[in-house]
A and B are shown apart, each in its own frame.
Chain A
């Protein structure tokens, strides 16, 4: 009778390598061509940074980049703040009525297709814009903060669940007030989780296309919506350069995220 050897299934190695090539080949090509001196997006004309210079010198790109970062920062701060409170409220507590309902609402942005949320926000914000006359960045910050909440909540909650409650009990036994116990015991241990949550929220906000496209007022392009607009017309190597820069930022943030979560995992 033939045995089922889990480590040596025929062809699995080839498919795995193939999948990795599929995942990386387009990205690598894009990065390489962002350094292409030629105007063409297909022919190689030597190494050059001209498209980076062109992108950096483009006022529309500068504005969009600044807007992207401001919105992502606001969303990361707001989302991780409310997510931290919610995580403290819903973990390590006895089961209470409605906890399941809180979970559902917090994770709702993960379940509803983004296009549906985008359309819903368009309808509501269009009415609010007419009623109040306010057309600032507030709508984008609000929308981004909301859909970032579950991304901030999950790592914070994971960190809290892995936390030893006896430390806080010890603090309480030593006459620490609940606030002091939180400030000096819980918060420092929780900090890597909050930082990780904030970082995920930042990346998610920075990447968003659909909701931003529907909510933004005229002249409020972020980098992704600016690129979407460019891609609809003609593709220039400038888009390659912007993409590569964004990619580099994402990789840097994610590496930091992995370091943060990994270090907290190895802690006793």
Chain B
């Protein structure tokens, strides 16, 4: 069946069965996920409704509002500083989260990969359970630790390191701590998968061939674990950029990220077209990050 070279008709029937069997899944996704995404594109070019929703008239006003604001009284145009601040904060916090998660995740993943197999399974289980635990619950848990009367401040007060509780909650630092905490397993797991595959005898071979430690790291270890680094980077950066729950609970009302700002447009802001335009911008940033990183791995492994 599979061994023989399939005649063209057989190939066509394979394709037909393939598509036929995939149809229910594709339909479900078209109605419940992909299709609505296309509707956003339309909404981003409509006029905002007076109460909420939209009016069916074409305009690029929403895109203009992403970057600029008009004065209500004299129609002067100025840069929308608040919007730029939110964009900048989102990108900055997401990059910082990814970097911190990597700094913590790489040694952790490396250490786990060097354990004997049965110990490794325990470590992995311990990393996986928090990963599957409800994001809201974990955010709530870390919130309890960093708030003024929480574990961290009590411990620091008890040790005499500080004299009065430090305000961490409702700052950018809280959002950063929260996101690192929440997304750390997403960095550790793919890194571990890559390191575990690495054949340590390659290192010995490199040293036998007079490679220095740095050369061995750069030329032998890094190329093999690069896919893991890229995967971990994507898995942390993408959800950080679109984060909603963590900044909302830990950042309070002031320290919004793009996700919260989008929600605002559909709630109190009552500006659906602006919300749609912002969603598309977020989507574009995420997709270009995904494409850039995938290209990077493909080129490196292809070389």
Name A's B-contacting residues (CB within 8 A): 1-4, 6-7, 9, 11-13, 15-16, 18-20, 22-27, 29-30, 33, 41-42, 78-79, 81-83, 85-86, 88-90, 93-94, 96-99, 102, 105-106, 108-109, 111-117, 119-124, 126, 142-143, 145-147, 149, 153, 165, 169, 172, 203, 206-207, 209-210, 214, 224, 227-228, 231, 235, 239, 243, 246-247, 250-251, 254, 258
B73 touches A (CB below 8 Å): no
- 5 tightest A-B contacts by CB? A113-B242, A146-B32, A89-B21, A96-B15, A120-B36
**Interface of chain B, main secondary structure:** helix
A89 with B18: CB separation less than 8 A: yes
B275 touches A (CB below 8 Å): yes
| B185 proximity list for chain A (CB < 8 A) | 23
CB < 8 Å: which of A41, A89, A142, A172 contacts B20? A89
| A143 proximity list for chain B (CB < 8 A) | 32-33
Tell me, rounded to whole Å, the shortest Cβ–Cβ distance linking B280 to chain A.
8
| A123 proximity list for chain B (CB < 8 A) | 36, 39-40, 43, 272, 276
**Which of B62-70, B79-87, B102-110 interfaces with chain A?**
B102-110
Given A114-B242, A116-B283, A120-B36: A93 touches B17 (CB 8 Å cut-off): yes
A207 to B135, alpha carbons, bound, how many Å?
Answer: 7
A123 to B141, alpha carbons, bound, how many Å?
Answer: 32
Nearest A residue to B212 via CB reads A1
Given A120-B40, A250-B134: A82 touches B24 (CB 8 Å cut-off): yes
B140 with A119: CB separation less than 8 A: no
Given A9-B107, A89-B21, A146-B31: A26 touches B286 (CB 8 Å cut-off): no
Nearest A residue to B101 via CB reads A19
B96 touches A (CB below 8 Å): no
Nearest A residue to B148 via CB reads A42
Nearest B residue to A79 via CB reads B28
A44 to B78, alpha carbons, bound, how many Å?
Answer: 54
| B18 proximity list for chain A (CB < 8 A) | 89-90, 93, 96, 99, 102
B97 touches A (CB below 8 Å): no
Tell me, rounded to whole Å, the shortest Cβ–Cβ distance linking A226 to chain B.
10
Nearest B residue to A253 via CB reads B132
Given A15-B107, A124-B35: A96 touches B11 (CB 8 Å cut-off): yes
A12 with B110: CB separation less than 8 A: yes
CB < 8 Å: which of A18, A42, A90, A116 contacts B37? A116
A13 to B142, alpha carbons, bound, how many Å?
Answer: 23
| B210 proximity list for chain A (CB < 8 A) | 1
CB < 8 Å: which of A27, A86, A172 contacts B141? A27
B125 with A258: CB separation less than 8 A: yes
A122 with B266: CB separation less than 8 A: yes
Tell me, rounded to whole Å, the shortest Cβ–Cβ distance linking A135 to chain B.
17
CB < 8 Å: which of A109, A113, A147, A149 contacts B238? A113
A115 with B262: CB separation less than 8 A: yes
| A203 proximity list for chain B (CB < 8 A) | 132
A124 with B134: CB separation less than 8 A: no
A206 to B133, alpha carbons, bound, how many Å?
Answer: 10
A24 with B126: CB separation less than 8 A: yes
Tell me, rounded to whole Å, the shortest Cβ–Cβ distance linking B253 to chain A.
10
B136 with A102: CB separation less than 8 A: no
B127 with A119: CB separation less than 8 A: no
A29 with B34: CB separation less than 8 A: no
| A85 proximity list for chain B (CB < 8 A) | 21-22, 24-25
Given A23-B181, A29-B151, A86-B21: A113 touches B111 (CB 8 Å cut-off): no
A246 to B17, alpha carbons, bound, how many Å?
Answer: 41
B213 with A4: CB separation less than 8 A: yes
Given A116-B279, A153-B25, A251-B129: A16 touches B43 (CB 8 Å cut-off): no
1/0 contact string of B136-157 vs chain A (CB within 8 Å): 1110111111000111001000
CB < 8 Å: which of B32, B104, B129 contacts A145? B32
| A33 proximity list for chain B (CB < 8 A) | 144
B228 touches A (CB below 8 Å): no
A27 with B283: CB separation less than 8 A: no
A119 with B275: CB separation less than 8 A: yes
A153 to B272, alpha carbons, bound, how many Å?
Answer: 33
B162 touches A (CB below 8 Å): no
